[in-house]
Amino acid sequence: MEQLFDLQKIIELRHELHQNPELSDSEFITAERIANFLIQYNPTQLIRGIGGNGIACIFKSNEEGPSVLFRCDMDALPIEEENDFEYRSKEKGVSHKCGHDGHMAIMAGLADLFSKKPPEKGQVVLLFQPSEENGQGARRVLNDEKFKELKIDYAFALHNSPGFPEGEILLKKETFASASKGVIIKLFGKTSHAAEPENGISPAIAMSNIVKELTFLPNENRFSDFNIVTVVYARLGEIAFGTSPGNAEIMATMRSYSNEDMQILTERAQSIVKENAFRHNLEFDISFTEEFPATVNDEQCVKDIEVASEPNDLKHRYLPEPFHWSEDFAHFTQKFPGALFGLGSGENHPQLHNQDYDFPDSIIENGVKIFYEIYSQIVNKP
């Protein structure tokens, strides 16, 4: 494919997005910037305010055919940027450390390409999805009436992947990215004078048992695949040497390759808390947050990406294991045949969510090409 989109202009857009990052649920200026940029390509339809600050840019053909969704994410992270290039983040403590600025740039390049080489059949929906990092955006988009009207048949997305050669397409059948879930545990006892702990109910022992039992939970002989529980926060009472503590709080993140294992982790976490609270006479509360299902790919769609990589000599490889991180694109693959795949960011590139990370502009072109070829592959299937 010859250079059919204006790469230089797309790189400039990427740098503007990088300089002006916004957190989940606050992608107002980003949405405005994207919408204004996309208008120049005269899409058939431009829908704003999907699932919050989301935007859908649609190119329709006059022929009957499938409705193919390509999705990127829009939000940045609460991380202070450590880079000092001239387009560094202008927002203190906020920056694009997951490369969503690059994902948006690829989608904008795709809009440029579809404006010049319009779809021959059906329609292409370029979705800019808000609030990926907090796990809210995909669900909100899917429940939005404006989105439902687009009647999606297939859904694809990519995530840039440090640790792999630049521009390489990373494929995985079945689970691509893990399920994850945050757990918040509260224990309630009774404070007393530190000189008379026997007059109170301290959650100290129950708390330390729960921390230990949750951490070792994946070793139990009941899971089918990889699982991990990481205790991320714990607090007991207050800093007061005269007081025996009356409450405690524990937070943990659970991860698994399969949704079935996540269900077992959830049930086991509940019973561990319940048993320990009961044994130590404590009241308790357990709740869950930031839930991401496992991203499970459709087998045929993975094959379609593989075939799409061939005409452009894009290198591809199959990953032996799913990624341990999660992606809320999982909600799309639960609903439509589709797939999430990786795009290598360079073997020695800083990892996602690291302070020195920056999306490599050198992989934009491959991102645009692979999406365009996936569309061709889907619509030209016999």
Beta strands in 246-325 (DSSP E): 247-256, 283-292, 295-297, 316-318
Q: Residue 145 CB, nearest distance to Zn ion (Å)?
A: 27
Q: Which one, 98 or 340, has the nearer CB to Zn ion?
A: 98
Position of minimal CB gap to Zn ion: 98
Q: Which residues contact 80 (CB under 8 A, 6 or more apart)?
A: 92, 93, 95, 355
Print the binding letters for residues 286-325 with Zn ion: x by CB under 5 A, - otherwise: ----------------------------------------
The residue range among 95-103, 165-173, 250-258, 282-290 that interacts with Zn ion, by the rule CB under 5 A, is 95-103
Select from 268, 277, 273, 182 the least CA-distant residue to 230: 182
The residue range among 93-101, 248-256, 262-270, 276-284 that interacts with Zn ion, by the rule CB under 5 A, is 93-101
Q: Which one, 186 or 255, has the nearer CB to Zn ion?
A: 255
Q: Which residues contact 231 (CB under 8 A, 6 or more apart)?
A: 211, 214, 215, 250, 251, 252
Task: Take residue 165 and report the two structure tokens written for it.
Answer: 């050669």
Q: Residue 350 CB, nearest distance to Zn ion (Å)?
A: 13
Q: Residue 78 CB, nearest distance to Zn ion (Å)?
A: 11
Distance CA 291, CA 265 (A): 13
Q: Residue 97 CB, nearest distance to Zn ion (Å)?
A: 7
Q: Residue 202 CB, nearest distance to Zn ion (Å)?
A: 38
Local structure of residue 343 (DSSP, 8 states): E
Q: Which residues contact 307 (CB under 8 A, 6 or more apart)?
A: 377
Q: Residue 342 CB, nearest distance to Zn ion (Å)?
A: 11
Beta strands in the chain (DSSP E): 45-50, 54-60, 67-73, 123-129, 154-161, 169-171, 174-177, 179-188, 192-193, 227-236, 243-244, 247-256, 283-292, 295-297, 316-318, 338-344
Q: Which residues contact 211 (CB under 8 A, 6 or more apart)?
A: 231, 234, 250
Q: Which one, 75 or 213, has the nearer CB to Zn ion?
A: 75
Q: Which residues contact 210 (CB under 8 A, 6 or more apart)?
A: 185, 187, 250, 272, 273, 276
The residue range among 10-18, 94-102, 122-130, 366-374 that interacts with Zn ion, by the rule CB under 5 A, is 94-102
Task: Take residue 27 and report the two structure tokens written for it.
Answer: 């992608």
Phi, psi of 112 (to 5 degrees): -60, -45
Q: Which one, 6 or 290, has the nearer CB to Zn ion?
A: 290
Indicate whether 98 belongs to the interface with Zn ion (CB under 5 A).
yes
The residue range among 1-9, 57-65, 83-91, 97-105 that interacts with Zn ion, by the rule CB under 5 A, is 97-105
Size of residue set near Zn ion by CB under 5 A: 1
Q: Residue 54 CB, nearest distance to Zn ion (Å)?
A: 15
Distance CA 18, CA 30 (A): 10
Q: Which one, 157 or 214, has the nearer CB to Zn ion?
A: 157
Indicate whether 113 belongs to the interface with Zn ion (CB under 5 A).
no
Q: Residue 158 CB, nearest distance to Zn ion (Å)?
A: 10
Q: Which one, 98 or 370, has the nearer CB to Zn ion?
A: 98
Local structure of residue 144 (DSSP, 8 states): -
Q: Which one, 96 or 369, has the nearer CB to Zn ion?
A: 96
Chain positions 157 to 216 lying near Zn ion, rule: CB under 5 A, are none
Q: Residue 133 CB, nearest distance to Zn ion (Å)?
A: 5
Q: Which one, 98 or 364, has the nearer CB to Zn ion?
A: 98
What are the angstrom distances between the C-alpha of 341 and each of 53, 71, 155, 180, 283? 24, 12, 11, 18, 44
Q: Which one, 98 or 214, has the nearer CB to Zn ion?
A: 98
Binding region for Zn ion (CB under 5 A): 98
